[in-house]
């Protein structure tokens, strides 16, 4: 029963809310929310922020692991200072439920 209730709540895929970049380049802040329902209690959501500069992805500017609560929900607001390297043209914000990505790889 517990497993069925958790599975019925969502698909475990994370979504972003309230994404915004505030402040001048010298004092920028990146704000965003990460939300997911139906995350298995043994799984987690991995969040990354990466710069693209000169056509190459740089090292993580931010990385975290979010674990679900007892109902399989992840809800986190993130507010970080952002100092991308010179020449950065794109900032990538990503969130993945690694349990889902592993199952997709094994099914394919």
Q: Please tell me the total count of domains within the chain.
A: 1
Verdict on whether the full-model pTM lies above 0.85: no
Tell me the per-residue pLDDT of 9-41, one tens digit each, with 9 for 90 and over. 478 999 999 999 999 888 999 999 999 999 998
* CATH code of the domain containing 33: 2.60.40
Q: Which residue has the higher pLDDT, 84 or 102?
A: 84
Mean predicted confidence (pLDDT) in 60-70: 95
Task: Tell me how long the chain is.
Answer: 108
The yes-or-no verdict on residue 61 having pLDDT over 70 is yes
Q: Which domain holds residue 78?
A: 2-107
Secondary structure in 3-state letters for 8-44: HCCCCCCEEEEEEEECCHHHCEEEEEEEECCCCCCCC
């Amino acid at each position: 029963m517990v497993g069925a209730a958790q599975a019925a709540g969502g698909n475990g895929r994370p979504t972003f809310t309230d994404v915004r970049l505030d402040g001048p380049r010298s004092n920028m802040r990146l704000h965003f929310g990460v939300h997911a329902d139906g995350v298995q209690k043994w799984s987690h959501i991995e969040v990354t922020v990466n710069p693209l500069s000169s056509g190459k992805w740089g090292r993580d500017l931010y990385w975290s692991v979010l674990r679900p609560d007892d109902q399989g929900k992840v809800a986190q607001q993130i507010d970080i200072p952002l100092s991308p390297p010179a020449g950065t043209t794109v900032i990538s914000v990503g969130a993945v439920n690694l349990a889902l990505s592993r199952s997709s790889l094994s099914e394919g």
